[in-house]
């Protein structure tokens, strides 16, 4: 699957076409990319915190 296959939940059109403001914003986010994905770091930090709490209890 590529970004060309994504369908907008707001207008039902393809995100690549940019029919509505939501499509255009999503398309710009996809083009820029995320230079530092926070998700994996946040998940690792949360896991470390849970392990720390379990080990000290």
Query: By residue range, what is the domain housing residue 52?
Result: 3-56
CA 39 to chain centre: 8
More confident site: 3 or 6: 6
Instruction: Flag whether the pTM goes above 0.75.
Output: no
> pLDDT tens-digit profile of 7-31?
888 898 888 888 899 888 888 888 8
Q: DSSP readout, 26-54?
A: HHHHHHH--SS-HHHHHHHHHHHHHHHHH
Q: How many domains does the chain have?
A: 1
Length reported for the chain: 57
- Compute the distance between CA of residue 17 and CA of residue 50 in angstroms, rounded to an integer: 43
């Amino acid at each position: 699957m590529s970004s060309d296959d994504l369908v907008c939940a707001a207008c039902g059109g393809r995100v690549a076409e940019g029919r509505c403001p939501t499509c255009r914003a999503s398309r710009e986010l996809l083009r820029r990319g995320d230079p530092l994905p926070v998700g994996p770091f946040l998940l690792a930090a949360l896991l470390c915190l849970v392990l720390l709490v379990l080990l000290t209890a």
